[in-house]
Amino acid sequence: MKLITVEDLKEGDVLAKDVLLEDYTILLGKGTEIKDAYIDKLRELSIVTVYIEEKKEDEPRLTLQEITILKDDVEVKIKNKVKDILELHVYQQTEGLKEIAETAQNIIVDILEEDAVVERIYDIKERSADIYEHSLTTCTIATLIALKMKLSEKEVYDISVSSLLHDIGLRYLVVRYEDQDIHLLPAKDQDEYKKHPIYSYTAIKKENWISEEAKNIILNHHEHRDGSGYSMGTDLVSKACQILGVVDEFDEMICGIGKARIRVHEAINCIRNYSGIWFDDEIVQTFLQLIAVYPVGSKVKTNEGELAVVMKQNVHFPERPVLRVINDKYGQPINKEKIIDLIQETKIVIQEVIK
């Protein structure tokens, strides 16, 4: 499976993933064989990238080079495992919850199998408010931050376990929190939503396989250094808890959990703005080194007026990716391949992300 631009799509290519519209309804399903009419429709709907099954022949053009934390098959397997465990727990079947410990360890092992894993820039994209995918994404990013900061093996493990369990309390809420700002809800609904860390903690507080530190991370993951967080408004927030707090805040913004969903670069700016206020500067800086500001496949406009697609990231420079121009400054399609490496072309900057 590989990610390509619609401009590189050819009749006969086979989709490896569903193509979704803005509201996440399926436009073209996985396994669909592409026809020219489909390509025209994708262009008309401003869909820039799709996943297709790989072919043996060499690609003559630069292909999209998306970097993910977990391999696709591993991610699907673990997400389904987390979903099964947490759904059973809601129905009072607590005996299976301990499997989260094994799942967390498997995630750490899988991440560590990759060379130079903490020296890459990862493509994390906006998506729907699925709390199981949110838990997994939060876990993988938080684990990476802990590894990059060279925390102890126990601290890394506690962060991984608590990240997978931190939002189990959302399953107990009757308040609708998907893709809406909780601060705009009635006061009683806000209060109910803000109890979810307590519900999460209550669900695991009697479990003896999870450490007290991990339990405290779960309880305090929405607390801030300046005391402005919830549920208790404490300013006594551990470094491990702040790591989860940074990642959780970011991922909630891009998938719409308790917030109106926004773009990745907007969420990164929000995290940057709270550095030293809500969160420790070192943690925020480590996070910013790992996450691409403009994920591969993003359609952007440069200061020269050209429309381009992000093709790959430049290590250590998350705001300066490699672009391929698709339209010139007059809005006309580019027939000859034009690649811009923003590390080399220092006068060119990304001005806007195009939906």
State the DSSP string of 117-133: GGGS-B--------HHH
pLDDT band at 1 (very low <50, low <70, confident <90, very high): confident
User: For residues 289 and 316, is the Cβ–Cβ distance under 8 A?
Assistant: yes
pLDDT tens track for 227-251: 999 999 999 999 999 999 999 999 9
Instruction: Report all structural domains of the chain as residue ranges with CATH numbers, in order of start.
Output: 2-52 (3.90.105.10), 72-290 (1.10.3210.10), 299-354 (no CATH)
How much is the pLDDT for 58? 47
Q: Is the pLDDT of residue 330 over 90?
A: yes
How much is the pLDDT for 57? 57
Among candidates 297, 340, 343, 280, which has minimal Cα distance to 317? 343
Sign of CA dihedral 58, 64, 67, 70: negative
Q: Are strands 299-302 and 307-314 parallel, antiparallel or unpaired?
A: antiparallel
How many C-beta atoms surround the C-beta of residue 242 within 10 A? 23
How much is the pLDDT for 189? 96
Determine phi and psi for 300, rounding to 5 degrees: -135, 160
Three-state DSSP state, 334: coil
pLDDT tens track for 269-284: 999 999 999 999 999 9
pLDDT tens track for 42-98: 988 888 889 898 876 545 567 889 999 998 889 989 999 999 888 877 655 566 788
User: Across 164-306, where does the E strand assignment appear?
Assistant: 299-302
Q: Which of 27-41, 221-235, 312-326 has the lowest mean pLDDT?
A: 27-41
pLDDT tens track for 167-179: 999 988 999 999 9
* Element of type H or E holding 200: helix 196-204
Give this prediction's pTM. 0.86
Three-state DSSP state, 301: strand
What is the per-residue DSSP string for 51-106? EE---SSPPSSPPP----SS-HHHHHHHHHHHHHHHHHHHTT-GGGTTHHHHHHHH
First to last CA, the chain: 24
As a whole number of angstroms, the distance between CA 147 and CA 111 comes to 10
Q: What percent of the chain has pLDDT over 70?
A: 97
What does the mean pLDDT of the chain come to? 92
The mean pLDDT value for 119-134 works out to: 94
As a whole number of angstroms, the distance between CA 21 and CA 23 comes to 5
Sign of CA dihedral 196, 263, 268, 50: positive
| Residue with the two structure tokens 């430049």 | 314
